[in-house]
A = this chain, B = another copy of it.
Amino acid sequence: MSPAITYTVTAFEHWILSYLYVKIMPSFNRSVLLELPIPATMDPDQLMSCGQMMLKFVADYWKTIENRSVLPSIQPGYLRPLLPSHAPEKPEQFSQIINDLESTIMRGVTHWHSPHFYAYFPTGNSYAAVCADILSAGIACIGFSWIASPSCTELEVIVMDWLAQALDLPEFFLSTGNGTASEATLVTLLAARSKIFCQMQKKDPNITLGKLLDQLIVYCSDQAHSSVDKATLIVGCKIRKIVSDDNCVMKAAQLKQAIIEDRAKNLIPFFLVATLGTTATCAFDDIAGLGKVCQDENIWLHIDAAYAGSAFICPEYRYLFDGIEYVDSFSFNPHKWMLVNFDCSAMWVKDRTYFINAFNVDPLYLKHDYQNVAPDYRHWQIPLGRRFRSLKLWFVFRIHGISGIRKYIRKHIELAKLFINYIENDKRFEIVFPSTTLGLVCFCLKNGSNELNEKLLKSLNEDKRIYLVPSMVKGRFILRFAICSYLTEVKHVDYAWTVINEITTKLLTKT
Protein backbone atom coordinates (compact mmCIF):
# COMPACT_ATOMS: atom_id res chain seq x y z
CA MET A 1 0.00 0.00 0.00
CA SER A 2 1.24 3.53 -0.73
CA PRO A 3 2.08 5.88 2.17
CA ALA A 4 -0.85 6.82 4.34
CA ILE A 5 -1.55 10.43 3.42
CA THR A 6 -0.39 11.78 0.10
CA TYR A 7 -2.84 14.65 -0.34
CA THR A 8 -2.72 16.56 2.92
CA VAL A 9 -3.13 20.33 2.98
CA THR A 10 -2.66 22.81 5.76
CA ALA A 11 -5.59 24.66 7.27
CA PHE A 12 -4.51 27.74 5.34
CA GLU A 13 -4.41 25.89 2.02
CA HIS A 14 -7.80 24.43 2.86
CA TRP A 15 -9.12 27.94 3.39
CA ILE A 16 -7.64 29.06 0.05
CA LEU A 17 -9.24 26.10 -1.72
CA SER A 18 -12.63 26.83 -0.17
CA TYR A 19 -12.32 30.50 -1.08
CA LEU A 20 -11.37 29.80 -4.69
CA TYR A 21 -14.14 27.24 -4.97
CA VAL A 22 -16.80 29.77 -4.01
CA LYS A 23 -15.31 32.49 -6.21
CA ILE A 24 -15.04 30.27 -9.28
CA MET A 25 -18.77 29.58 -9.24
CA PRO A 26 -20.11 32.61 -11.15
CA SER A 27 -17.86 31.76 -14.10
CA PHE A 28 -19.25 28.22 -14.22
CA ASN A 29 -18.65 26.55 -17.56
CA ARG A 30 -21.58 24.40 -18.73
CA SER A 31 -19.80 23.02 -21.75
CA VAL A 32 -17.21 21.24 -19.63
CA LEU A 33 -19.99 19.50 -17.74
CA LEU A 34 -21.88 18.48 -20.86
CA GLU A 35 -18.80 16.64 -22.06
CA LEU A 36 -18.21 14.69 -18.85
CA PRO A 37 -19.06 11.09 -19.71
CA ILE A 38 -19.74 8.58 -16.96
CA PRO A 39 -19.67 4.78 -17.17
CA ALA A 40 -22.92 2.97 -18.03
CA THR A 41 -23.80 1.72 -14.57
CA MET A 42 -27.58 1.39 -14.41
CA ASP A 43 -27.66 0.39 -18.05
CA PRO A 44 -30.80 -1.66 -18.85
CA ASP A 45 -29.22 -3.51 -21.78
CA GLN A 46 -26.17 -4.50 -19.77
CA LEU A 47 -28.50 -5.58 -16.96
CA MET A 48 -30.34 -7.88 -19.38
CA SER A 49 -27.28 -9.42 -21.01
CA CYS A 50 -25.02 -9.68 -17.94
CA GLY A 51 -27.97 -10.63 -15.75
CA GLN A 52 -28.75 -13.54 -18.06
CA MET A 53 -25.14 -14.69 -17.92
CA MET A 54 -25.31 -14.50 -14.15
CA LEU A 55 -28.61 -16.42 -14.01
CA LYS A 56 -27.16 -19.06 -16.30
CA PHE A 57 -24.16 -19.39 -14.01
CA VAL A 58 -26.40 -19.81 -10.94
CA ALA A 59 -28.71 -22.25 -12.76
CA ASP A 60 -25.68 -24.33 -13.79
CA TYR A 61 -24.45 -24.16 -10.20
CA TRP A 62 -27.79 -25.45 -8.94
CA LYS A 63 -27.67 -28.27 -11.51
CA THR A 64 -24.20 -29.35 -10.44
CA ILE A 65 -24.38 -28.65 -6.71
CA GLU A 66 -25.03 -32.32 -5.96
CA ASN A 67 -21.75 -33.37 -7.54
CA ARG A 68 -19.58 -30.82 -5.80
CA SER A 69 -17.71 -31.66 -2.61
CA VAL A 70 -19.89 -30.13 0.08
CA LEU A 71 -16.85 -28.77 1.95
CA PRO A 72 -14.14 -26.99 -0.07
CA SER A 73 -10.61 -28.41 -0.18
CA ILE A 74 -8.63 -25.27 0.49
CA GLN A 75 -6.56 -23.76 3.28
CA PRO A 76 -7.01 -20.31 4.87
CA GLY A 77 -5.53 -17.63 2.64
CA TYR A 78 -6.22 -19.61 -0.56
CA LEU A 79 -7.89 -16.69 -2.35
CA ARG A 80 -5.31 -13.91 -1.92
CA PRO A 81 -2.77 -15.27 -4.47
CA LEU A 82 -5.57 -15.90 -6.98
CA LEU A 83 -6.72 -12.27 -7.15
CA PRO A 84 -4.85 -9.09 -8.11
CA SER A 85 -3.36 -7.16 -5.20
CA HIS A 86 -5.18 -3.95 -6.20
CA ALA A 87 -8.58 -3.06 -7.62
CA PRO A 88 -8.38 -2.59 -11.40
CA GLU A 89 -7.91 0.97 -12.58
CA LYS A 90 -9.73 0.25 -15.86
CA PRO A 91 -13.02 -1.58 -16.46
CA GLU A 92 -13.07 -5.31 -17.20
CA GLN A 93 -15.58 -7.27 -19.26
CA PHE A 94 -18.40 -8.99 -17.39
CA SER A 95 -17.56 -12.24 -19.18
CA GLN A 96 -14.10 -12.12 -17.54
CA ILE A 97 -15.73 -12.18 -14.12
CA ILE A 98 -17.94 -15.10 -15.11
CA ASN A 99 -14.87 -16.93 -16.43
CA ASP A 100 -13.00 -16.38 -13.17
CA LEU A 101 -15.73 -17.47 -10.80
CA GLU A 102 -15.15 -21.22 -10.75
CA SER A 103 -11.39 -20.97 -10.25
CA THR A 104 -11.60 -18.33 -7.52
CA ILE A 105 -14.84 -17.88 -5.55
CA MET A 106 -16.53 -21.24 -6.12
CA ARG A 107 -13.40 -23.14 -5.04
CA GLY A 108 -13.92 -21.78 -1.55
CA VAL A 109 -17.68 -22.15 -1.16
CA THR A 110 -19.24 -24.42 1.45
CA HIS A 111 -22.33 -25.62 -0.39
CA TRP A 112 -25.21 -24.92 1.99
CA HIS A 113 -27.72 -26.20 -0.58
CA SER A 114 -25.92 -29.43 -1.35
CA PRO A 115 -28.01 -32.51 -0.55
CA HIS A 116 -24.95 -33.65 1.42
CA PHE A 117 -25.10 -30.65 3.76
CA TYR A 118 -26.49 -31.75 7.15
CA ALA A 119 -24.78 -29.07 9.27
CA TYR A 120 -26.14 -26.21 11.41
CA PHE A 121 -29.76 -25.68 10.34
CA PRO A 122 -31.01 -25.24 6.78
CA THR A 123 -31.00 -21.89 5.03
CA GLY A 124 -33.81 -21.36 2.56
CA ASN A 125 -33.67 -20.63 -1.13
CA SER A 126 -35.91 -20.77 -4.19
CA TYR A 127 -36.11 -19.22 -7.63
CA ALA A 128 -39.05 -17.17 -6.33
CA ALA A 129 -36.89 -15.61 -3.60
CA VAL A 130 -33.98 -14.98 -5.98
CA CYS A 131 -36.34 -13.24 -8.43
CA ALA A 132 -37.69 -11.12 -5.58
CA ASP A 133 -34.12 -10.19 -4.69
CA ILE A 134 -33.55 -9.06 -8.28
CA LEU A 135 -36.60 -6.80 -7.98
CA SER A 136 -35.51 -5.53 -4.57
CA ALA A 137 -32.03 -4.79 -5.93
CA GLY A 138 -33.52 -3.22 -9.07
CA ILE A 139 -35.84 -0.85 -7.20
CA ALA A 140 -33.11 -0.25 -4.58
CA CYS A 141 -35.14 2.01 -2.34
CA ILE A 142 -34.24 2.57 1.32
CA GLY A 143 -37.46 1.97 3.22
CA PHE A 144 -36.70 3.60 6.57
CA SER A 145 -40.00 5.47 6.71
CA TRP A 146 -43.37 5.21 5.02
CA ILE A 147 -42.69 8.16 2.69
CA ALA A 148 -39.23 6.86 1.74
CA SER A 149 -41.08 4.17 -0.23
CA PRO A 150 -44.66 3.46 0.82
CA SER A 151 -45.03 0.06 -0.84
CA CYS A 152 -41.90 -1.14 0.99
CA THR A 153 -43.61 -0.55 4.36
CA GLU A 154 -47.12 -1.57 3.30
CA LEU A 155 -46.19 -4.87 1.67
CA GLU A 156 -44.25 -5.80 4.78
CA VAL A 157 -47.30 -5.22 7.01
CA ILE A 158 -49.48 -7.29 4.67
CA VAL A 159 -47.22 -10.30 4.13
CA MET A 160 -46.39 -10.41 7.84
CA ASP A 161 -50.15 -10.66 8.44
CA TRP A 162 -50.33 -13.44 5.85
CA LEU A 163 -47.54 -15.19 7.66
CA ALA A 164 -49.22 -14.81 11.06
CA GLN A 165 -52.41 -16.29 9.62
CA ALA A 166 -50.51 -19.12 7.95
CA LEU A 167 -48.97 -19.99 11.32
CA ASP A 168 -52.21 -19.34 13.22
CA LEU A 169 -50.58 -16.83 15.60
CA PRO A 170 -52.81 -14.94 18.05
CA GLU A 171 -54.47 -11.80 16.69
CA PHE A 172 -52.99 -9.37 19.18
CA PHE A 173 -49.56 -9.48 17.58
CA LEU A 174 -48.13 -6.54 15.65
CA SER A 175 -45.62 -7.50 13.05
CA THR A 176 -42.20 -6.44 11.86
CA GLY A 177 -39.39 -7.98 9.90
CA ASN A 178 -35.70 -8.08 10.80
CA GLY A 179 -32.56 -9.25 9.13
CA THR A 180 -31.82 -12.07 11.58
CA ALA A 181 -33.09 -13.67 14.79
CA SER A 182 -30.06 -12.24 16.62
CA GLU A 183 -31.27 -8.75 15.79
CA ALA A 184 -34.81 -9.64 16.86
CA THR A 185 -33.53 -10.83 20.26
CA LEU A 186 -31.44 -7.69 20.78
CA VAL A 187 -34.19 -5.32 19.69
CA THR A 188 -36.69 -7.05 21.99
CA LEU A 189 -34.28 -7.06 24.93
CA LEU A 190 -33.81 -3.31 24.46
CA ALA A 191 -37.57 -2.78 24.43
CA ALA A 192 -37.91 -4.85 27.62
CA ARG A 193 -35.14 -2.80 29.26
CA SER A 194 -36.96 0.38 28.27
CA LYS A 195 -40.19 -1.01 29.79
CA ILE A 196 -38.65 -1.99 33.13
CA PHE A 197 -36.75 1.32 33.31
CA CYS A 198 -40.03 3.27 32.87
CA GLN A 199 -41.68 1.13 35.56
CA MET A 200 -38.80 1.56 38.01
CA GLN A 201 -38.58 5.29 37.38
CA LYS A 202 -42.20 5.63 38.50
CA LYS A 203 -41.24 4.02 41.82
CA ASP A 204 -37.95 5.92 42.19
CA PRO A 205 -37.46 8.98 39.96
CA ASN A 206 -33.76 9.13 40.88
CA ILE A 207 -32.87 5.70 39.58
CA THR A 208 -30.27 5.77 36.80
CA LEU A 209 -30.05 3.31 33.94
CA GLY A 210 -26.60 2.26 35.17
CA LYS A 211 -27.87 1.49 38.68
CA LEU A 212 -30.77 -0.47 37.23
CA LEU A 213 -28.54 -2.37 34.79
CA ASP A 214 -26.46 -3.71 37.67
CA GLN A 215 -29.65 -5.28 39.02
CA LEU A 216 -31.28 -6.52 35.81
CA ILE A 217 -31.09 -10.20 35.00
CA VAL A 218 -32.07 -12.05 31.83
CA TYR A 219 -33.04 -15.74 31.81
CA CYS A 220 -32.73 -18.33 29.13
CA SER A 221 -32.25 -22.06 28.97
CA ASP A 222 -28.77 -23.57 29.07
CA GLN A 223 -29.74 -24.68 25.54
CA ALA A 224 -30.50 -21.19 24.19
CA HIS A 225 -28.71 -19.85 21.13
CA SER A 226 -25.49 -17.86 21.53
CA SER A 227 -27.29 -14.76 20.23
CA VAL A 228 -28.92 -14.39 23.68
CA ASP A 229 -25.45 -14.11 25.24
CA LYS A 230 -24.50 -11.62 22.58
CA ALA A 231 -27.59 -9.50 23.20
CA THR A 232 -26.98 -9.37 26.97
CA LEU A 233 -23.29 -8.54 26.38
CA ILE A 234 -24.44 -5.61 24.24
CA VAL A 235 -27.09 -4.41 26.67
CA GLY A 236 -24.72 -4.93 29.59
CA CYS A 237 -26.98 -6.82 31.98
CA LYS A 238 -26.58 -10.15 33.77
CA ILE A 239 -27.70 -13.45 32.31
CA ARG A 240 -28.58 -16.69 34.08
CA LYS A 241 -28.93 -19.98 32.25
CA ILE A 242 -31.80 -22.10 33.59
CA VAL A 243 -30.83 -25.75 33.71
CA SER A 244 -33.04 -27.68 31.29
CA ASP A 245 -34.37 -31.16 32.00
CA ASP A 246 -32.98 -34.41 30.58
CA ASN A 247 -34.78 -33.75 27.30
CA CYS A 248 -33.26 -30.25 27.13
CA VAL A 249 -36.60 -28.63 27.94
CA MET A 250 -36.71 -25.51 30.16
CA LYS A 251 -39.51 -25.87 32.72
CA ALA A 252 -41.40 -23.50 34.98
CA ALA A 253 -40.21 -24.95 38.32
CA GLN A 254 -36.53 -24.26 37.57
CA LEU A 255 -37.36 -20.76 36.39
CA LYS A 256 -39.37 -20.06 39.53
CA GLN A 257 -36.52 -21.26 41.76
CA ALA A 258 -34.07 -18.98 39.97
CA ILE A 259 -36.38 -16.00 40.36
CA ILE A 260 -36.71 -16.60 44.11
CA GLU A 261 -32.94 -16.85 44.52
CA ASP A 262 -32.23 -13.78 42.39
CA ARG A 263 -34.86 -11.56 44.00
CA ALA A 264 -33.29 -12.45 47.37
CA LYS A 265 -30.01 -11.06 45.98
CA ASN A 266 -31.82 -7.82 45.12
CA LEU A 267 -31.70 -8.59 41.39
CA ILE A 268 -34.58 -7.75 39.02
CA PRO A 269 -35.63 -10.51 36.60
CA PHE A 270 -37.20 -8.81 33.55
CA PHE A 271 -36.66 -10.85 30.37
CA LEU A 272 -36.91 -14.53 29.46
CA VAL A 273 -35.93 -16.01 26.11
CA ALA A 274 -37.65 -19.34 25.58
CA THR A 275 -36.72 -21.42 22.57
CA LEU A 276 -38.95 -23.45 20.30
CA GLY A 277 -36.51 -25.75 18.56
CA THR A 278 -33.11 -25.27 20.19
CA THR A 279 -30.01 -25.22 18.02
CA ALA A 280 -28.34 -28.20 19.65
CA THR A 281 -31.21 -30.70 19.75
CA CYS A 282 -34.39 -28.95 18.54
CA ALA A 283 -35.95 -29.10 22.01
CA PHE A 284 -39.09 -27.14 22.83
CA ASP A 285 -39.30 -25.17 26.06
CA ASP A 286 -42.54 -25.43 28.03
CA ILE A 287 -44.06 -22.12 26.93
CA ALA A 288 -47.36 -22.62 28.75
CA GLY A 289 -45.71 -23.25 32.11
CA LEU A 290 -43.04 -20.57 31.68
CA GLY A 291 -45.62 -18.10 30.41
CA LYS A 292 -47.68 -18.24 33.59
CA VAL A 293 -44.57 -17.55 35.69
CA CYS A 294 -43.60 -14.62 33.48
CA GLN A 295 -47.08 -13.15 33.76
CA ASP A 296 -46.99 -13.36 37.57
CA GLU A 297 -43.47 -11.99 37.81
CA ASN A 298 -43.61 -9.08 35.33
CA ILE A 299 -41.10 -10.73 33.01
CA TRP A 300 -41.10 -10.10 29.25
CA LEU A 301 -41.40 -13.45 27.43
CA HIS A 302 -39.62 -13.59 24.09
CA ILE A 303 -39.81 -16.69 21.91
CA ASP A 304 -36.94 -17.62 19.62
CA ALA A 305 -38.35 -20.13 17.14
CA ALA A 306 -35.68 -19.39 14.53
CA TYR A 307 -35.70 -22.85 12.97
CA ALA A 308 -38.91 -24.51 14.17
CA GLY A 309 -41.21 -21.55 13.49
CA SER A 310 -41.56 -22.52 9.83
CA ALA A 311 -43.04 -25.89 10.84
CA PHE A 312 -46.05 -24.17 12.43
CA ILE A 313 -47.38 -23.64 8.92
CA CYS A 314 -48.36 -27.33 9.29
CA PRO A 315 -51.31 -27.58 11.73
CA GLU A 316 -50.05 -30.87 13.15
CA TYR A 317 -47.03 -29.13 14.72
CA ARG A 318 -48.85 -26.22 16.33
CA TYR A 319 -49.23 -28.11 19.58
CA LEU A 320 -45.54 -27.25 20.02
CA PHE A 321 -46.36 -23.59 20.63
CA ASP A 322 -49.05 -24.24 23.18
CA GLY A 323 -49.01 -21.26 25.56
CA ILE A 324 -48.31 -18.65 22.90
CA GLU A 325 -51.02 -16.43 24.40
CA TYR A 326 -48.54 -15.54 27.18
CA VAL A 327 -45.87 -14.37 24.80
CA ASP A 328 -44.73 -10.72 24.49
CA SER A 329 -42.70 -11.23 21.35
CA PHE A 330 -42.23 -14.09 18.90
CA SER A 331 -39.58 -14.41 16.22
CA PHE A 332 -38.58 -16.96 13.62
CA ASN A 333 -36.51 -17.10 10.43
CA PRO A 334 -38.37 -17.76 7.18
CA HIS A 335 -34.84 -17.69 5.70
CA LYS A 336 -34.15 -21.00 7.42
CA TRP A 337 -36.90 -23.33 6.36
CA MET A 338 -39.47 -21.44 4.32
CA LEU A 339 -37.75 -21.16 0.94
CA VAL A 340 -36.74 -17.54 1.44
CA ASN A 341 -33.04 -16.78 1.10
CA PHE A 342 -31.06 -14.98 3.82
CA ASP A 343 -31.80 -12.48 5.30
CA CYS A 344 -35.46 -12.55 6.32
CA SER A 345 -36.49 -12.88 9.94
CA ALA A 346 -40.08 -12.32 11.12
CA MET A 347 -41.10 -10.90 14.49
CA TRP A 348 -44.40 -10.13 16.17
CA VAL A 349 -44.86 -8.10 19.34
CA LYS A 350 -47.81 -7.45 21.63
CA ASP A 351 -47.04 -3.79 22.37
CA ARG A 352 -44.94 -1.56 20.19
CA THR A 353 -44.71 1.29 22.73
CA TYR A 354 -41.42 0.18 24.19
CA PHE A 355 -39.80 -0.43 20.82
CA ILE A 356 -40.48 3.13 19.85
CA ASN A 357 -39.25 4.29 23.28
CA ALA A 358 -36.03 2.37 22.82
CA PHE A 359 -35.17 3.62 19.35
CA ASN A 360 -37.04 6.78 18.49
CA VAL A 361 -34.76 9.51 17.24
CA ASP A 362 -36.44 11.88 14.84
CA PRO A 363 -34.35 14.48 13.04
CA LEU A 364 -36.15 16.81 10.65
CA TYR A 365 -34.77 15.17 7.51
CA LEU A 366 -36.63 11.98 8.42
CA LYS A 367 -39.94 13.54 9.43
CA HIS A 368 -42.93 13.41 7.07
CA ASP A 369 -46.66 14.18 7.05
CA TYR A 370 -47.89 10.63 7.64
CA GLN A 371 -45.93 9.73 10.76
CA ASN A 372 -48.96 8.75 12.79
CA VAL A 373 -50.91 6.74 10.23
CA ALA A 374 -48.28 4.28 9.00
CA PRO A 375 -45.51 2.49 10.87
CA ASP A 376 -42.00 3.86 10.34
CA TYR A 377 -40.04 0.65 10.65
CA ARG A 378 -36.78 2.47 11.40
CA HIS A 379 -38.02 2.59 15.02
CA TRP A 380 -38.15 -1.19 15.15
CA GLN A 381 -34.57 -1.94 14.17
CA ILE A 382 -30.95 -0.95 14.63
CA PRO A 383 -30.08 0.16 11.09
CA LEU A 384 -31.79 3.18 9.58
CA GLY A 385 -31.98 1.84 6.03
CA ARG A 386 -34.06 -1.17 5.11
CA ARG A 387 -34.10 -3.42 2.03
CA PHE A 388 -37.38 -4.33 0.34
CA ARG A 389 -37.28 -7.78 1.99
CA SER A 390 -41.01 -8.42 2.07
CA LEU A 391 -40.95 -9.01 -1.69
CA LYS A 392 -39.21 -12.30 -0.98
CA LEU A 393 -41.96 -13.55 1.30
CA TRP A 394 -44.64 -12.30 -1.08
CA PHE A 395 -43.09 -14.07 -4.09
CA VAL A 396 -42.56 -17.32 -2.19
CA PHE A 397 -46.14 -17.38 -0.87
CA ARG A 398 -47.53 -16.75 -4.36
CA ILE A 399 -45.26 -19.08 -6.30
CA HIS A 400 -45.47 -22.05 -3.95
CA GLY A 401 -48.66 -21.38 -2.01
CA ILE A 402 -49.11 -22.39 1.61
CA SER A 403 -49.72 -25.94 0.37
CA GLY A 404 -46.34 -26.06 -1.36
CA ILE A 405 -44.47 -24.82 1.70
CA ARG A 406 -46.25 -27.45 3.83
CA LYS A 407 -45.18 -30.21 1.44
CA TYR A 408 -41.61 -29.00 1.65
CA ILE A 409 -41.54 -28.97 5.47
CA ARG A 410 -43.27 -32.36 5.74
CA LYS A 411 -40.89 -34.02 3.33
CA HIS A 412 -37.87 -32.86 5.35
CA ILE A 413 -39.45 -34.24 8.51
CA GLU A 414 -40.07 -37.59 6.82
CA LEU A 415 -36.47 -37.70 5.63
CA ALA A 416 -35.32 -37.14 9.21
CA LYS A 417 -37.48 -40.11 10.25
CA LEU A 418 -35.77 -42.22 7.62
CA PHE A 419 -32.40 -41.34 9.14
CA ILE A 420 -33.70 -42.08 12.65
CA ASN A 421 -34.76 -45.47 11.34
CA TYR A 422 -31.21 -46.19 10.19
CA ILE A 423 -29.70 -45.13 13.51
CA GLU A 424 -32.19 -47.10 15.58
CA ASN A 425 -31.56 -50.27 13.65
CA ASP A 426 -27.81 -50.15 14.14
CA LYS A 427 -26.69 -51.23 17.59
CA ARG A 428 -23.48 -49.18 17.50
CA PHE A 429 -25.51 -45.95 17.61
CA GLU A 430 -28.16 -44.33 19.68
CA ILE A 431 -30.52 -41.41 19.19
CA VAL A 432 -29.93 -38.86 21.93
CA PHE A 433 -32.53 -36.49 23.29
CA PRO A 434 -35.57 -38.22 21.81
CA SER A 435 -37.59 -35.01 21.67
CA THR A 436 -36.73 -35.02 17.97
CA THR A 437 -39.85 -34.07 16.06
CA LEU A 438 -38.76 -32.01 13.08
CA GLY A 439 -35.84 -32.19 10.63
CA LEU A 440 -32.94 -32.56 13.07
CA VAL A 441 -31.63 -35.88 14.37
CA CYS A 442 -29.07 -36.01 17.20
CA PHE A 443 -27.12 -39.23 17.60
CA CYS A 444 -23.86 -40.64 18.85
CA LEU A 445 -21.94 -43.88 19.29
CA LYS A 446 -23.65 -45.87 22.04
CA ASN A 447 -21.35 -46.10 25.07
CA GLY A 448 -18.77 -44.17 23.01
CA SER A 449 -16.64 -41.61 24.84
CA ASN A 450 -16.78 -37.96 23.86
CA GLU A 451 -13.31 -38.36 22.38
CA LEU A 452 -14.48 -41.21 20.15
CA ASN A 453 -17.53 -39.29 18.96
CA GLU A 454 -15.34 -36.27 18.27
CA LYS A 455 -13.04 -38.50 16.21
CA LEU A 456 -16.03 -39.76 14.24
CA LEU A 457 -17.21 -36.22 13.48
CA LYS A 458 -13.71 -35.17 12.46
CA SER A 459 -13.29 -38.19 10.18
CA LEU A 460 -16.65 -37.51 8.53
CA ASN A 461 -15.84 -33.87 7.82
CA GLU A 462 -12.31 -34.61 6.63
CA ASP A 463 -13.82 -37.14 4.25
CA LYS A 464 -15.92 -34.23 2.90
CA ARG A 465 -18.62 -36.40 1.30
CA ILE A 466 -21.18 -35.10 3.76
CA TYR A 467 -21.04 -32.23 6.22
CA LEU A 468 -22.45 -32.15 9.75
CA VAL A 469 -21.61 -30.18 12.90
CA PRO A 470 -21.43 -31.39 16.50
CA SER A 471 -22.91 -30.12 19.71
CA MET A 472 -22.00 -30.47 23.37
CA VAL A 473 -25.15 -31.17 25.36
CA LYS A 474 -25.30 -32.05 29.06
CA GLY A 475 -21.62 -32.96 28.90
CA ARG A 476 -22.05 -35.25 25.90
CA PHE A 477 -20.44 -34.71 22.51
CA ILE A 478 -23.17 -35.45 19.96
CA LEU A 479 -23.54 -35.37 16.18
CA ARG A 480 -26.26 -33.26 14.61
CA PHE A 481 -27.83 -34.46 11.35
CA ALA A 482 -30.08 -31.71 9.95
CA ILE A 483 -32.04 -32.13 6.73
CA CYS A 484 -31.17 -28.92 4.93
CA SER A 485 -31.36 -29.03 1.17
CA TYR A 486 -34.17 -28.78 -1.35
CA LEU A 487 -32.35 -31.49 -3.27
CA THR A 488 -32.24 -33.98 -0.41
CA GLU A 489 -34.05 -37.17 -1.40
CA VAL A 490 -34.25 -40.68 0.03
CA LYS A 491 -31.17 -41.67 -1.98
CA HIS A 492 -29.11 -38.92 -0.34
CA VAL A 493 -30.05 -39.99 3.17
CA ASP A 494 -29.22 -43.58 2.11
CA TYR A 495 -25.87 -42.30 0.86
CA ALA A 496 -25.19 -40.30 4.04
CA TRP A 497 -25.94 -43.41 6.05
CA THR A 498 -23.52 -45.43 3.87
CA VAL A 499 -20.80 -42.84 4.47
CA ILE A 500 -21.42 -42.76 8.23
CA ASN A 501 -21.52 -46.55 8.33
CA GLU A 502 -18.26 -46.89 6.39
CA ILE A 503 -16.35 -44.25 8.38
CA THR A 504 -17.63 -45.65 11.67
CA THR A 505 -16.54 -49.17 10.76
CA LYS A 506 -13.08 -47.88 9.84
CA LEU A 507 -12.86 -45.92 13.07
CA LEU A 508 -14.01 -48.77 15.31
CA THR A 509 -11.68 -51.25 13.64
CA LYS A 510 -8.71 -48.93 14.24
CA THR A 511 -9.49 -48.33 17.94
Count of identical protomers in the assembly: 2
Residues of B within 8 A of A182 (CB): 382-385
B-contacting residues, A386-439, CB 8 Å: 387, 391, 395, 397-404, 407-408, 410-411, 414-415, 417-418, 420-421, 424-425, 434-435, 437
A112 at the interface (CB under 8 A from B): yes
Against B, the Cβ 8 Å flags (1 = close, 0 = not) of A423-459 are 0110000000011010000000000000000000000
Q: A140-B123, A214-B208 are in contact. Are A28 and B421 (CB under 8 A)?
A: yes
A331 → chain B closest CB, angstroms: 13
The answer to whether A374 touches B76 (Cβ under 8 A) is: yes
A499 at the interface (CB under 8 A from B): no
Identify 20 residue pairs between A and B in the complex whose beta-carbon atoms are under 8 Å apart, listed by A's number: A1-B161, A2-B165, A4-B325, A28-B420, A30-B490, A38-B408, A41-B339, A41-B486, A50-B131, A54-B134, A61-B138, A80-B158, A87-B166, A91-B400, A92-B398, A109-B149, A134-B134, A182-B383, A208-B214, A210-B212
A141 at the interface (CB under 8 A from B): yes
Residues of B within 8 A of A169 (CB): 4
Q: Report, nearest first, the 7 A-B pairs whose CB atoms are least far apart.
A: A108-B151, A58-B138, A210-B214, A44-B59, A39-B404, A41-B126, A87-B162
Cα-based distance from A74 to B153 in the complex (angstroms): 13
Cα-based distance from A391 to B46 in the complex (angstroms): 18
The answer to whether B41 touches A435 (Cβ under 8 A) is: no
Cα-based distance from A72 to B153 in the complex (angstroms): 13
Q: A47-B130, A62-B47 are in contact. Are A363 and B226 (CB under 8 A)?
A: yes
A280 at the interface (CB under 8 A from B): yes
Q: Which of B52, B109, B130, B403 is close to A137, meaning CB atoms less than 8 Å apart?
A: B130
The answer to whether A52 touches B50 (Cβ under 8 A) is: no
Q: Which of A107, A230, A437 has the most CB of B within 10 A?
A: A230
The answer to whether B6 touches A437 (Cβ under 8 A) is: no
Q: Which of B80, B109, B437 is close to A139, meaning CB atoms less than 8 Å apart?
A: B109
Against B, the Cβ 8 Å flags (1 = close, 0 = not) of A231-255 are 0011110000000000000000000
A186 at the interface (CB under 8 A from B): yes
A204 → chain B closest CB, angstroms: 14
A507 at the interface (CB under 8 A from B): no
The answer to whether B385 touches A342 (Cβ under 8 A) is: yes
Q: Which of B45, B212, B365 is close to A469, meaning CB atoms less than 8 Å apart?
A: B365
A264 at the interface (CB under 8 A from B): no
Stretch in A269-277, A292-300, A312-320, A346-354 with 4+ CB within 8 Å of B: A312-320
The answer to whether A322 touches B56 (Cβ under 8 A) is: no
Residues of B within 8 A of A129 (CB): 137
Cα-based distance from A254 to B81 in the complex (angstroms): 48
Q: Residue on B with the closest CB to A36?
A: B411
A287 → chain B closest CB, angstroms: 11
Against B, the Cβ 8 Å flags (1 = close, 0 = not) of A84-117 are 0011111110101100010011111111110000
